[in-house]
């Protein structure tokens, strides 16, 4: 089942969609169920920018991973294999957004992160170039973007081990508004510090074990 947002952030966001992907690794099959959430108060601006894409430039996501056969069956511990799983999780995220026409660039930061419950995960922060939809209206009514213009954005991708699998979560946030579209930029309400704090609240409040029950 898709993973819901924790109460600390749930009121300001709504689920936009879900998708299920499956990939085969050397020893197992990994099924990822991803839920994407959009920010309620900037949803109209996000819709105008994304031009039919599944992933808005301000979004949160949660991913439940199912591994078959289970890690314990093949003699692995999810926690002990985190250093191997984290890069694979990052690659999966990059492929997911690339499929949506969004370009992920260099890794800005990589680090281990602690939660209040003691769980230790791994975080990657990535540069993103988000394409601007050609149908966006500028402040003067003109179109902004021709399908090749982008705005700078940032992606946070974290993965934690559970008893026998992994949970992923993260977010995408704009670092700037669209050029030559003052009204739309104002509606987008770019605030990277606020958005990063929201992602931190997601990381702290996610129910890891409950997310993998059943």
What confidence score (pLDDT) does residue 14 get? 96
**CB of 49 closer than 8 Å to CB of 188:** yes
User: Which long-range contacts does 140-144 make (Cβ < 8 Å, 24+ apart)?
Assistant: 142/180, 144/178, 144/179, 144/180, 144/181, 144/184
| Cα dihedral 116/120/124/125 (nearest 10) | 10
The tens digit of pLDDT for each residue in 124-180 reads: 999 999 998 654 454 443 444 445 689 999 999 999 999 889 999 999 999 999 887
Helix, strand or coil, per DSSP, at residue 211: helix
User: Residue 180 has what pLDDT?
Assistant: 76
Q: In which residue ranges of the chain is pLDDT below 70? A: 26, 133-148, 210-214
Could you tell me how far CA 78 lies from the centroid of its own chain? Answer: 21
Q: Are 145 and 100 in contact (CB under 8 A)?
A: no
pLDDT, position 104:
95
């Amino acid at each position: 089942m898709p993973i819901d947002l924790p109460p600390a952030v749930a009121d300001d966001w709504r689920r936009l969609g879900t998708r299920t992907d499956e990939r085969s690794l050397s020893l197992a099959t990994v099924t990822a169920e991803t839920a994407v959430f959009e920010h309620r108060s900037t949803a109209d601006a996000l819709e105008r920018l994304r031009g039919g894409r599944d992933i808005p430039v301000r979004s949160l996501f949660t991913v439940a991973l199912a591994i078959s056969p289970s890690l314990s069956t093949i003699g692995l511990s999810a926690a002990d294999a985190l250093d191997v799983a984290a890069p694979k999780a990052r690659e999966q995220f990059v492929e997911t957004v690339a499929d949506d026409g969004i370009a992920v660039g260099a890794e800005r930061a990589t680090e281990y992160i602690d939660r209040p419950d003691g769980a230790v995960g791994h975080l990657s922060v990535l540069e993103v170039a988000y394409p601007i939809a050609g149908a966006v209206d500028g402040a003067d009514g003109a179109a902004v973007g021709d399908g090749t213009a982008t705005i700078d954005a940032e992606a946070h991708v974290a993965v934690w081990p559970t008893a026998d699998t992994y949970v992923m979560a993260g977010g995408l946030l704009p670092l700037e508004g669209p050029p030559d579209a003052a009204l739309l930029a104002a509606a987008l309400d770019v605030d990277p510090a606020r958005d990063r704090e929201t992602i931190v609240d997601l990381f702290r409040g996610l129910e890891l074990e409950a997310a993998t029950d059943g």
